[in-house]
Amino acid sequence: MPSPPQGILLDTELSEHSPPPQGAYERSYERYPAFEGLPFAPVAHTATERHERPPAHRLCGYGKVILLGEHAVVYGSHAIAAPIPLAMRASVQKADEHSGASLSITHDGVTHQIEPGATERDVPERTVQLILAQLGLAGHTLQIQVSSTVPRAMGLGSSAAFAVAVIRALDWHFRLGLDDAQVNVLAFRCEELAHGTPSGIDNTVATYGELVLYRRGEEARTTAQIQPLKISRPLPLVIGVSGRGSLTVETVAAVRKAWQREPVRYQTIFRQIDDLVLEGVQALHNEDLPRLGALMDTCHQHLQGLQVSSRELDEMVRIAHEHGALGAKLTGGGRGGSIIALCPANRERVASALRAAGYQALEMDLG
Ligand code: PMV
């Protein structure tokens, strides 16, 4: 692997990572007023809640986009990811009627109720059971309510955001005093349940809510390298949402199978992705958006090589280019889900063209 550019990166251990400043989430909310009232609106906080509750970022798990490096990051390459102003928020109440923890998840005004003892396939329920067991809270009679603005299975980190929100809500309810590193480690365990062999990047961004350069530990569950990346101007992006759901556990397993069949070819692609991620850090540092856009394009081609793109994702990438994006790529697990397009100019044009083609488009400044 090439070494990170000097002077920008420092390897930071999970436990040494400092949490975002208090109120960080409210600030980022104010930066995205355009999302108020839309289906994917960020979580709003009332004045009363602000006084009675801990800072909002202590109760939410962030969604994310991967700017560069998905899939290869599972095999030890670097990746860059940013939180998005879409989040999950959870609250916990003591319940009387039933034993165990019941769970309700509200998204787009629709509430899905999951009773204790749901089926094996029910990842949210199993995630909650894992969290309760790990925190020594199994057997408590609870009602856990989750409100979500992160679309599920769209490559935007919804499972990690869910885990972080539930952990933080239990932490607050039982006054456990967990720090962010503990939240992150437990959310990683939940990601193992949801994804099989996660890199840990989703839970990291869901926990810390910062733009980061990430590299997993050498072995599963060993300390990851997390480097917050500071940029002076946020990145003007469009997220194109295909509407076709895709399970990361399946795309990650498919890449693993293919890698086992053709290790040299896949390893070469992972290494090329690693190189371009590190170049991406330099481009971010230099505010060189044309270069960053070109790296996103190359990354998308590599992801096509890994067989994780799809007709819809390729079409959205093409539309973004045709309407003036500097670069575009799928983000997250792929085969469905979302793309990101870098649009310092023509952002509305790109978003409108995606909508006209039947996709959902979200305009966001990230980082
Ligand atoms: O699809 P998402 O949002 O869960 O992102 C998955 C990112 C991968 O690199 C494909 C998997 C991982 O664990 O890093």
Question: Ligand 1 centroid to 282 CA: how many Å?
Answer: 23
The confidence score (pLDDT) of residue 46 equals 34
Residue type, 8: I
Quick one: which atom of ligand 1 is closest to the CA of 158? 3
Of the chain, the percentage scoring pLDDT greater than 90 comes to 59
Q: What DSSP assignment string belongs to 8-50?
A: T-----GGGPPPPPTTHHHHHHHT-GGGTTSTTPPPP--HHHH
Cβ neighbours for 169, distance < 8 A, ≥ 6 positions apart: 59, 89, 90, 91, 92, 144
Phi/psi at 90 (5° precision): -130, 155
Distance CA 361, CA 94 (A): 39
Q: What is the pLDDT of residues 266-306, one digit of tens each?
A: 999 999 999 999 999 999 999 999 999 999 999 999 999 99
Distance CA 340, CA 321 (A): 11
Question: Ligand 1 centroid to 332 CA: how many Å?
Answer: 5
| Best probe residue, ligand 1, of 201, 250, 329 (max atoms within 8 Å of C-beta) | 201
Q: pLDDT at residue 314 above 70?
A: yes
Q: Is the CB of 73 under 6 A from ligand 1?
A: yes
The confidence score (pLDDT) of residue 83 equals 94
Q: pLDDT-based confidence at 108, cuts 50/70/90?
A: confident
> pTM for the full model?
0.84
Are 281 and 80 spatial neighbours (Cβ–Cβ below 8 Å)? yes
Question: Ligand 1 centroid to 207 CA: how many Å?
Answer: 15
Quick one: which atom of ligand 1 is closest to the CA of 71? 9
Are 99 and 110 spatial neighbours (Cβ–Cβ below 8 Å)? no
Residue type, 91: S
Quick one: which atom of ligand 1 is closest to the CA of 200? 13
The confidence score (pLDDT) of residue 18 equals 34
User: What is the mean pLDDT of the segment spanning 199-216?
Assistant: 94
- Residues designated catalytic: 202
The confidence score (pLDDT) of residue 323 equals 98
Q: What is the pLDDT of residues 140-167, one digit of tens each?
A: 889 999 999 898 889 999 999 999 999 9
Q: pLDDT-based confidence at 57, cuts 50/70/90?
A: low
